[in-house]
Amino acid sequence: MRDLFADIIVDISHENLDHTFSYRVPDELADRVAIGSRVLIPFGKSNREIAGFVLGLSDKAKFDPAKIKNIISVLGDESLVEQKLIMLAYWMKERYGSTMNRALSTVLPIKKNVKAKEKRDVVLLLSDDEAEEALVQFRKKGNVARERLMAELIKEKSIDYRLVTGKLNISAATLRALVKQKMIDIVSERVYRNTVKSSGTVQKVMLSSEQKKIYDDFSDDYSHGARGTYLIFGVTGSGKTEVYMEMIEKVVAAGKQVIVLIPEISLTYQTVMRFYRRFGDRVSTLHSRLSDGEKYDQFERAKKHEIDIMIGPRSALFTPFDNLGLIVIDEEHEHTYKSDQMPRYHARDVAIKLAELHGASVVLGSATPSVESYYAAKKGEYKLYTLKERAKSAALPSVHIVDLREELRDGNRTMFSKKLRDAIEERLVKKEQVMLFVNRRGLGGCVSCRSCGEPVKCPHCDVSLTRHFNGKLKCHYCGYEQLVVKKCGKCQSTLIGPMGSGIGTEAVEQQIKSMFPYAAVLRMDADTTKQKGDYESILSTFANREADILIGTQMIVKGHDFPYVTLVGIMAADMSLNANDYRAGERTFQLLVQAAGRAGRDLRPGEVLIQTYRPDNYAISAAISQDYEAFFDEEFGYRQLLMYPPAGHMLAIMTESKEENECMVMAASLAGAIRDGIIGKASVIGPTAASISKLKDVYRQMIYVKSMEIDTLKAIKDRAEEFSEKTDGGARISFDLDPMNGY
């Protein structure tokens, strides 16, 4: 028998996860000790017996083997949630590449010292009749803020103060005035921090026959103990969320717990409220604005079985539920499900692994499934459900194309085609609303030298600065800002000026305001949503019809139902096709279909106008005919040809350093080592400079490895890790398995 040593942690809520102790695994326990196992050990000088978790196993001792004590026994409590999370962390480390420590700190809730917080609620003091009467009065007087608050209070009775001032955008002065009139009160209580208060009124719809068929099938599987992964491919507004809620109810009724993932951007008051109304305070939410302490509290509540349902972005996967029954991933195609920090995990794959550890099921939903998921469904790995009809309105919006090349030929040099302009005017006359989707912030375009052609670049990144209002130039990658320069930095020429067709949110806003001076216009992009609550307040202003036109980046594509939006205009559909990664087509198709899905959500029929220079591109033409199958066939053919995921797997390896030379040398020697050591079939591309070769003052070189076998890539990753440990110091190495964006 060879020697086996275990790294054991005794307090896993501790911040220093690398604070482990070495123990020997005695021969008789060797086949029972695994990563994640809970074991009993003699600890400290007095050898008192305490429990710990095994984080790593090795046949090499860290110090004199004679001084290493033996593990006493395996506690074998398999149901422990910590054990599953440690196993999950290990799986993530192996698959995506990172240290065990980083994987653990991604997965385990870390206790931070936090003070209890004061929580305040705005509560309604009026009876229902009085409140309705007040509502009518506010409306008569045109007092929109008070009307908005009263409408919400009639539904909720009591609302978190922060939601009132933030998401509902009610000023403190307004609240004071209403308190004085004894209509509302502001009550403080020291509470165990919950994020939203429930109203507890059950609201259920009757499922349509299409919806019911899906629910029944899932329910049947669940009752018979069948577990698996399901993909609900349902057009926008087809009632996927209602189906999830039925499934969740079933699983919770069986005494199990549920995690619901939604993209951070759709984590809005409206969405969360739908779950609260249905499930009351058995629900909690996580989002990026919670402090570490608040997050920890939510995790503690989950552990103590005070809640059964956790809603949140990808990190909600690590809620320490001990009897997980279901994981729902809404809008599963969203790129926010992929972590951009090591370990660069994809929430879908982690969810499937976690479900396997718990014996749970996974339900994915989207109107534009990722090529990965649809391929898995086609292969029979996932069960496919489809919803073809919208739940409320009679029809999907009608989608039309505007060929911008023809506009140019007809002498129209503006960014608005005649058709789009007329359509906007028609909506303004009818008092309906318009959403305009633009892919870029600012004025669009950059500034460059007419003499030597050099663009004005960010001093920290290898990208051109984008023009913004007030003569500002901004870097969209690091936030750097400067005023427009008057002289070329390279050739000193003063012939310097704007370049490129400027289609950005600010430019569109300017044009709209000059074309329709009487229209109320809102703009939503990273520049107008810097403050807490900005995002929600723009959306609620628009939802309350205090504006006619909402101009925005992809931020406007998600989250809300606006019944009065009957026109969605897409300013330049091909812009996202120019991105240089293999997912550009998929992303373009998804954006267009999702943006189109914002039109005609209620009873009024919706229209979508897509302006483009490339109407024949398959991603754009498939979006126009709303034909997912056509898109998928074309896209998958291309991926197969080039062995891109999901036809094969791809590992992106990046070397980074502040020293350009160091970065290149490391990349070259690493690529050499990989080429020499390949076992199995793989092709290695590079090293080459990343397409953004410098970001925030750090140089980046890329190596791409493609293979049909994920295990081949794992072996290559391990080899690269080993290599980088040997050449320590120098450039940093990181990995991205099946990347979602280009580097």
Q: Which residue is nearest to ligand ADP (CB)?
A: 239
Give the integer Cα–Cα distance in Å for 432 and 547: 10
Could you count the other beta carbons within 10 Å of the beta carbon of residue 28?
9
Token readout for 560 is 């809300």
CA atoms within 13 A on the CB side of 597: 28
Site membership for Zn ion, residue 480 (CB under 5 A): yes
717 touching ligand ADP, by CB under 6 A: no
Give which of ligand ADP, Zn ion, none residue 237 binds (C-beta under 5 to 8 Å, depending on kind).
ligand ADP
Count of other CB atoms within 10 angstroms of residue 264: 17
Instruction: Classify residue 208 as left (phi > 0), alpha (psi -120 to 50) or beta.
Output: beta
20 or 211: CB nearest ligand ADP: 211
Question: Could you tell me the two tokens for 204?
Answer: 């259920």
Backbone phi and psi for residue 37, each to the nearest 5 degrees, phi listed first = -60, 145
Q: Does 205 bind ligand ADP (CB under 6 A)?
A: yes
Strand 73-74 versus strand 466-468 pairing type = unpaired
C-alpha to C-alpha distance for 133 and 129, rounded to whole angstroms = 6
Q: How far is the CB of 394 from ligand ADP (least distance, A)?
A: 13
* 366 touches ligand ADP (CB under 6 A): no
24 touches, from ligand ADP, Zn ion, none (C-beta below 5 to 8 Å by class): none
Residue type present at position 136: V
Q: How far is the CB of 205 from ligand ADP (least distance, A)?
A: 4
Please identify, among the stretches 77-85, 133-141, 199-207, 609-617, the one whose residues bind ligand ADP according to the rule CB under 6 A: 199-207
Based on the shown chain and the rule CB under 5 A, indicate whether residue 22 belongs to the binding site for Zn ion.
Answer: no
Query: Length of the chain, please?
Result: 743
Determine which residue in the list 229, 236, 448, 617 makes contact with ligand ADP, applying CB under 6 A: 236
Q: Which is nearer to Zn ion, 449 or 620 (CB)?
A: 449
Among positions 165, 195, 241, 553, the unique one binding ligand ADP when judged by CB under 6 A: 241
**Helices 240-253 + 209-223 axis angle, to 10:** 30
**Cβ 557 to ligand ADP, closest distance in Å?**
12
Q: How far is the CB of 462 from Zn ion (least distance, A)?
A: 9
Site membership for Zn ion, residue 491 (CB under 5 A)? yes
Whichever of 428 and 435 has its CB closer to ligand ADP, that residue is 435
Decide: 260 and 309 in contact? Cβ < 8 Å.
Answer: yes
Instruction: Please report, as residue ranges, which positions from 209 to 228 form the binding site for ligand ADP (by CB under 6 A).
Output: 211
Other Cβ atoms less than 10 A from the Cβ of 53: the count is 25
Is 268 a binding residue for ligand ADP by CB under 6 A? The answer is no
For ligand ADP, give the closer residue by CB, 246 or 349. Answer: 246
Q: How far is CA 717 from CA 2, 20, 353, 363, 655, in A?
A: 27, 25, 20, 30, 13
Bridge partners, residue 326, by sequence? 258, 361
Number of residues that bind ligand ADP (CB under 6 A): 16
Candidates 25, 207, 591, 622: give the one binding ligand ADP (CB under 6 A): 207
Q: Choose the contact partner of 238 out of ligand ADP, Zn ion, none; CB within 5 to 8 A by kind.
A: ligand ADP
| Closer CB to ligand ADP, 119 or 390, in the complex | 390
φ, ψ of residue 189 in degrees (nearest 5): -145, 150
Determine the 3-state secondary structure of 339 from DSSP: coil
Task: Give residues in contact with Zn ion (CB under 5 A).
Answer: 449, 451-452, 454, 458, 460-461, 475, 477-478, 480, 488, 490-491, 493
Task: Give residues in contact with ligand ADP (CB under 6 A).
Answer: 205-208, 211, 234, 236-242, 391-392, 561
